[in-house]
Structure 1
Amino acid sequence: MSAACVLAADVGGTHTRVLLAESDGATCTPLREQHYVSADWPDLLPILENFLAAETRRPACACLAIAGPITGPISSPVAGPIKDCGDGPQHAHVTNLPWSLASDTLAQCLNIPRLALINDFAAVGHGIAALNADDLLTLQAGEPQPCAPRAVLGAGTGLGQALLVWRDGGYDVLSTEGGHMDFAPQNDQQVRLLNSLRALHGHVSCERLCSGSGLAYIYRFLQERRGAAVPEAIAQAFAQPSDQASSPSDPAAAISQAALAGSDALAQEALREFVRIYGAQAGNLALSCLPFAGLYVAGGIAPKILPALTDGEFLRAFNAKGRMEKLTRRIPLHIVVHPTPGLLGAALYAGRLSPGTAAGF
């Protein structure tokens, strides 16, 4: 069977990436890709309408990967056709945007017969199966076991997590909101960070610190305690109003760039603490599901701070699990360096929605 023309989107609090592709559910051939600044738009629908307005090709199916929980019928096998799990539309609310979405409304407005919503890190889980060796950087080879669980997590605007469980000859992807688990400090400085955030927010999730805004908060916290001078580039990034998302200024990016360049000692310390928190949370996820087929670190931040993730600090925090350290050392640990694994996964999922593809009905 031939591949179908599909629409895929990866919808995040900072960026929305849209792709038109040909997909049979197992492979994907990109046709056109465009990136949008999410906060520049009132909702997702006008973004998709803007993208499709330039197209003569009309997608038969669509999959939209959303940074937030999905309610309604969901089916997420990595292989084989996508089957409906019940009646009614799907709904989603983007965690870091005031966008509420309904699959039936989007399908009707876009005139796309089959349209599905999935969690953004479920989409990463679907994309993992199609990655090549060049798309991964291995931190720990471990002792891989076929058919064992897999797990993915990644820090960006937020902190996403998903699980993959083997069933009936393939993996099912299970969405989670694990990034909103309680933050558990691992040292005295992290205890102080926890207390500071608790005074502001009450509940403190892992995402409060293991995200772009989390890195910025760590830096500001350390700077205020030390009274240290702030380099101009970082100061300008902090001065950027939060409602002007289209600006290239980004405190987390400025901090990580200064840290990796060695131009600001405070930025280096902030990034080290961020990496420790990130590694510890990856280790917590590993203990929760024992992903002996691999734990994959994705998200927008990881490819930008590879030197900090590969210097040993992340791996030490990952394995610092007391009596369970021997266990975590057996778990394969990879960094995903593919630029858009979630968009790839959404396109593959969309391809399996089509009755005209090899993987469809």
Structure 2
Amino acid sequence: MTRLVVDIGGTNTRAALAEGQAIIDTSVRRYRNDGFDGLCSVLMRFLAEAGSPRIDGACAALAGPVQGGRGRLTNLDWSIDAADIARVTGADRVRLLNDLQAQGHALDQLAPDALIPVLDGPRAVGGVRLVIGLGTGVNVTVVHRTPAGRLVTANEAGHVSLPVASEDDLSLARFAAGEDGFAAVEDVLAGRGLATLYAWVTTRAGAPRRLEGSAIIAAAPGDPAAELALRSYTEMLGRVAGDLALHHLPYGGIYLIGGVARAMTPHLARLGLDDSFRAKGRFSGLMENFAIATITDDFAALRGCAAHLAETA
């Protein structure tokens, strides 16, 4: 059977063909969303370029909430409907997942070299696993093994309130808040958050400047403002990840994924992720039980979609 798997982000959409739980790596194509008026246009282009194969099933992962076979992207004005995908592809079985759910389904499909260790710790076989996505947006999923199979939760955790524990945190929250006055975790830990942090740091120093995220990472540690922005990012990431670890007790490991996660990974040890993640008062010792690694496989969500389709056949 030939299946279609799709990973729809806020900036790009990836599509591929799959057989069983394995995607056909040579079939993967990436499309910039700003060149299309919606997902159906992307799928028609992909299927034409793939030679118009017969599609037996389809699974799409999207960066936004999913309910009742419909979803809407959080950072792009696209609506996704399983019925539309069925019409365009001819598939008689279509599944929609939140993008982080797809990443959770992918964990057992990853090659060993697709993981970069970030914080050491044990990984209990069969333990709960936590995936944190850091890219155009931010989200989280929790992966449970149950007697009935794998349970991967849907969440919109990037939109919870930004933690505030000090005057500096309050200053950042006020600076990062949108017109509605609400500062979410995503406002600081998503890609645009690096630019926000740099602007906040330089504004507080009396010399406001703006840089994009990639330029900030490239400028550190030589540029003190860039280094401070990255340190502030790392401290907030550690605090948020630590809170999530206490919520879910992921003895099976914590996995970071997304473009920002990959870009920041070489710097996290220098910037003190260990200290901020484990600063949980009398529960600091418990935090030693949670290992963190970064996933480097760009096709992880596609692999997760393929695995989910195979498991629900």
Distance in 1 (alpha carbons) for counterparts of 2:188 and 2:102: 23
Say if 1:204 and 1:303 are closer, same or farther in 2 by CA, change over 3 A.
same
Distance in 2 (alpha carbons) for counterparts of 1:348 and 1:171: 11
The one-character-per-residue Cα deviations of 1:167-201 (angstroms, maximum 9, x if unpaired) are: 11642111111111111134432221112234743
Distance in 2 (alpha carbons) for counterparts of 1:143 and 1:338: 22
Distance in 1 (alpha carbons) for counterparts of 2:222 and 2:12: 28
317, 338, 347: which one aligns with 2:306: 347
SS across alignment from 1:124: helix
Equivalent positions of 1:130-279 (< 5 A) are 130-168=109-147, 170-198=149-177, 200-228=179-207, 230=209, 234=211, 251-259=212-220, 262-279=221-238
Q: Where in structure 2 are there 5+ consecutive unaligned residues?
A: none
23, 31, 36: which one aligns with 1:36: 31
2:70 matches 1:67: no
Distance in 1 (alpha carbons) for counterparts of 2:26 and 2:94: 19
Does the 8 A contact of 1:21 with 1:31 survive in 2? no
Say if 1:9 and 1:125 are closer, same or farther in 2 by CA, change over 3 A.
same
Say if 1:64 and 1:280 are closer, same or farther in 2 by CA, change over 3 A.
same
Q: Where in structure 1 are there 5+ consecutive unaligned residues?
A: 73-89, 235-250, 354-359
Equivalent positions of 1:81-92 (< 5 A) are 90-92=69-71
The one-character-per-residue Cα deviations of 1:198-218 (angstroms, maximum 9, x if unpaired) are: 474322211111101111111
Does the 8 A contact of 1:160 with 1:177 survive in 2? yes
Does the 8 A contact of 1:13 with 1:39 survive in 2? no
2:92 matches 1:113: yes
The one-character-per-residue Cα deviations of 1:66-104 (angstroms, maximum 9, x if unpaired) are: 1011102xxxxxxxxxxxxxxxxx010000111111101
Q: CA deviation at 1:117?
A: 0.7
Q: CA deviation at 1:18?
A: 1.4
Equivalent AA in structure 2 for residue 341 of structure 1: A
Equivalent AA in structure 2 for residue 191 of structure 1: L
The ranges of structure 1 where at least 4 consecutive aligned residues each deviate by more than 6 angstroms after the TM superposition are none
SS across alignment from 1:128: helix
Distance in 1 (alpha carbons) for counterparts of 2:180 and 2:196: 13
Distance in 1 (alpha carbons) for counterparts of 2:243 and 2:136: 20
2:278 matches 1:282: no
Structure 1-normalised TM-score? Answer: 0.81
5, 8, 20: which one aligns with 2:5: 8
Say if 1:317 and 1:128 are closer, same or farther in 2 by CA, change over 3 A.
same
SS across alignment from 1:13: coil
Range with bigger deviation, 194-203 or 60-69: 194-203
Range with bigger deviation, 186-195 or 159-168: 186-195
Query: Identity of paired residues, percent?
Result: 31
Does the 8 A contact of 1:302 with 1:309 survive in 2? no
303, 306, 318: which one aligns with 2:262: 303
Distance in 2 (alpha carbons) for counterparts of 1:189 and 1:200: 20
Does the 8 A contact of 2:62 with 2:71 survive in 1? yes
Distance in 2 (alpha carbons) for counterparts of 1:274 and 1:119: 25
Distance in 1 (alpha carbons) for counterparts of 2:281 and 2:84: 50
Considering Cα pairs closer than 8 Å and 6+ residues apart, tell me whether 1 or 2 has the greater RCO. 1
Q: CA deviation at 1:133?
A: 2.0
Equivalent AA in structure 2 for residue 313 of structure 1: G
Does the 8 A contact of 2:27 with 2:50 survive in 1? no
Does the 8 A contact of 2:82 with 2:94 survive in 1? yes
Range with bigger deviation, 37-46 or 157-166: 37-46
State the Cα RMSD in Å.
1.9
Distance in 1 (alpha carbons) for counterparts of 2:30 and 2:166: 39
Distance in 1 (alpha carbons) for counterparts of 2:12 and 2:244: 26
Structure 2-normalised TM-score? Answer: 0.93
